[in-house]
Amino acid sequence: MIDMVQNQNNTVSAKRRRILTIIACAAAVLFIIVADKFFDRFSLRVFNLCAIYIVLSLSLNLLNGFTGLFSLGHAGFMAIGAYICALLTMSPAQKQINFYLQPIVPWLANVQIPFIPALFLGGIVTALFALLIGLPVLRLHDDYLAIATLGFAEIIRVVITNMQNVTNGALGLKGLPKYSTTYVVWAFAILSIVFMIALIHSAYGRSLQAIRDNEIAAQAMGIDVAHVKIVSFVISGFMAGIGGALLGHLMQTIDPKMFVLSLTYNILLIVVLGGNGSITGSVIASIVITVLMEALRFLDGPLNLIIVQTNGLPGFRMVVFSLLLMIVVIYRQRGLMGTSEFSWDSLAKIGLLPRIKHNERVQ
């Protein structure tokens, strides 16, 4: 009976939808394999960066878009994940080269574990930090929460800068092993997407969205709001930690200056442009924005705009993003996708896919 009601809204049959989904997944995997084989080093790096931004933007969207918690602490979470993973995977010799100002603390000097356990450890420790910071700050709302989480991120950065014998301070860590291969980063991106879809389309996801839509009503419906918020914050922290660690191992060098507020803003830009509360939006925006950030690099160099000639304005490409953000905020407040998601039905509705035949509908 339920199927009958739902079928009224469908324009693509269940069987057809399943086939299309399998084809799309196969095509995506094939594209990743082809990219890994044939892309030049620069393009491949951008391509992998897209995957990391998918992990990061989904993690921020879980807070901002699905739970309604305005958090600006992502750079802090990423820094924790990146440093812990880096310190655990670097070889003792590499650490010695890095720590020339002050030797590394003895208990860290000879530690070296494989990448995947280190990555998860980075994520788990970040999640613990999220729990610790979440307990007091999640009592706050809106802008106050944003300021508190922002403060947290800055504290993390300052602490890292000053823990010379653990993090190598402002010098940063160089020569991280290149573990963030195409397959690794895209595996995590896909894992994040699958996880988010499963979470959001579940009873627990409904609780999250209920809190976003109306916290007081959610409470009155028997949802333990404080608990659910913390869980969401911890999951988001875990994903951000993983994302940070992957980024570190892609760049192969990390330093505290990398994890400034503008990093959080880049992710926030993706979330807002893609649609606060849309997994599809975050995925699309992650790819588009990351590619644009690189493709628009020519704007930073000397330009000949016929009337005006510039000889290199570093950061000029960011003006494009600022303009884009303004246009979106004025004309399409809810971003590219709003809170809607991709579905084969919506493709059929806008005419990109043939509609279901009438006799197919009744199964």
Partner 1 sequence: MLACNHTTIRFGGLIAVNDLNLKVNDQEITGLIGPNGAGKTTAFNMITGVYKPTSGTIMWNDTDITKLKPHQITKLGLARTFQNIRLFSEMNVLENVMVAENLRNHVNLFESVLHTPAYCKREQSATENALSLLEQVGLKEHAYDSATSLPYGQQRRLEIVRALATKPKLLLLDEPAAGMNPQEASDLMEFIRKIRADFGISILLIEHHMQVVMGICDRMYVLEYGNTIAEGTPMEISTNQKVIDAYLGTDNEDIQQAQREGEHA
Q: Which residues bind partner 1 (CB under 8 A)?
A: 1-2, 5-6, 8-9, 195, 198-199, 202-207, 209-210, 212-214, 216-225, 231, 277, 339
> Rounded to the nearest whole angstrom, what is the least distance from the CB of residue 222 to partner 1 in the complex?
4
> Rounded to the nearest whole angstrom, what is the least distance from the CB of residue 42 to partner 1 in the complex?
37
300, two tokens: 């930073």
> Rounded to the nearest whole angstrom, what is the least distance from the CB of residue 348 to partner 1 in the complex?
17
User: Where do we find the tokens 């588009």?
Assistant: 288
Which of residues 220 and 308 has its CB atom nearest to partner 1 in the complex? 220
Rounded to a whole number of angstroms, the CA Rg of the chain reads: 22
> Rounded to the nearest whole angstrom, what is the least distance from the CB of residue 217 to partner 1 in the complex?
4
Which of residues 105 and 217 has its CB atom nearest to partner 1 in the complex? 217
> Rounded to the nearest whole angstrom, what is the least distance from the CB of residue 276 to partner 1 in the complex?
10
Backbone angles phi, psi at 25, to 5 degrees: -65, -45
Which of residues 68 and 81 has its CB atom nearest to partner 1 in the complex? 68
Smallest CA-to-CA distance from 294 within 311, 272, 317 is with: 317
85, two tokens: 């993973």
What angle is formed at CA 260 by the lines to CA 254 and CA 265, rounded to 5 degrees? 120
Cα 211 → chain centroid:
22
Backbone angles phi, psi at 141, to 5 degrees: -125, 160
> Rounded to the nearest whole angstrom, what is the least distance from the CB of residue 134 to partner 1 in the complex?
15
- 3 state DSSP class of 302: strand
CA distance 109 to 165: 10
Q: Are 133 and 241 in contact, with CB atoms under 8 Å apart? A: no
User: Where do we find the tokens 């709001």?
Assistant: 225
> Rounded to the nearest whole angstrom, what is the least distance from the CB of residue 9 to partner 1 in the complex?
6
Which of residues 5 and 362 has its CB atom nearest to partner 1 in the complex? 5
CA distance 353 to 111: 55
Which of residues 216 and 362 has its CB atom nearest to partner 1 in the complex? 216
Which of residues 220 and 305 has its CB atom nearest to partner 1 in the complex? 220
Q: Are 326 and 263 in contact, with CB atoms under 8 Å apart? A: no
Which of residues 178 and 206 has its CB atom nearest to partner 1 in the complex? 206
> Rounded to the nearest whole angstrom, what is the least distance from the CB of residue 3 to partner 1 in the complex?
11
E strand or H helix at 315: none
96, two tokens: 């010695």
> Rounded to the nearest whole angstrom, what is the least distance from the CB of residue 17 to partner 1 in the complex?
17
CA distance 222 to 253: 47
Which of residues 159 and 231 has its CB atom nearest to partner 1 in the complex? 231
* Per-residue DSSP letter, 202: S
CA distance 181 to 249: 9
Which of residues 5 and 330 has its CB atom nearest to partner 1 in the complex? 5
